[in-house]
Homo-oligomer: A and B are copies of this chain.
């Protein structure tokens, strides 16, 4: 039996003194490194998505500084998260990677490409937004209300990650079963309240309206695949269009009847699109 559900958790010590927990799946090719969503750890990646991606790639998931079982304190800015991720990549001796950033992980992916462009070959931005876009500051009250409580709940998670259509409800139940019901041993540490506070600080700072900052991403010259669900209330699809318009070398796809968890819901189609993007 193989696949992400049983992939062994490993640890690498980086030069900044942090022990980063990570998992590796798939073929021994140039790594595709995944950057996780708000409050997510290694277990929060849908195994079905990782398995589909790792049919064609070596896929690396990791807990950034302070997240899950990785040591240290979660920083409160996207810029520091990016630098911490670079510490991990350096410790892994990766000198060239593809990145797939999801939600707050997509913010970190943009920042990594901006501060260490030589490290990044291609980028997938899932449910992303550029720093400074107006209208996204701190997320909608019902969204942060659903996923920002001290104790997370399946209902809150499902309400943000999936639509309430029959298709969305079924997809949410199936994904939750894969994510929360799949792995029984070697599970990650839950993310802490410190991580929640620090990540939300970073998300809020990223969303301070400042149209001058939109120009930042025009410096990302790598090929970028921008993707989102058509009904994402956490990070609206309009910000994916904004990115696709600002980035000099982007393609975009919006997935139907899907919210923040579109890449879990449409895991086969999304993985095929990502694989095709990397082939181009």
Contacts and interface: CB of A to CB of B under 8 A. Distances in A.
A241 interface: yes
Nearest to A245: B242
A218 B250 CA distance: 22
B211 A245 contact: no
Contacts of A247: 238
Nearest to A226: B241
A134 interface: yes
A106 to B, nearest CB: 15
A252 interface: yes
A252 B230 CA distance: 12
A244 interface: yes
Contact of A242 (B135, B211, B246): B246
A247 B215 CA distance: 17
State how many copies of this chain the complex holds: 2
- Of the candidates A238, A250, A252, the one having the most CB atoms from chain B within 10 angstroms of its own CB is A238
Interface in A235-255: 238-248, 250, 252
B248 A218 contact: no
Contact of A215 (B211, B245, B246): B211
B248 A241 contact: no
B133 A245 contact: yes
Contacts of A239: 245
A15 interface: no
Interface string A140-173: 0000000000000000000000000000000000
A39 to B, nearest CB: 26
Contact of A212 (B134, B211, B244): B211
A208 interface: no
A56 to B, nearest CB: 26
- Of the candidates A133, A211, A239, the one having the most CB atoms from chain B within 10 angstroms of its own CB is A211
A254 to B, nearest CB: 9
Nearest to A248: B135
A205 interface: no
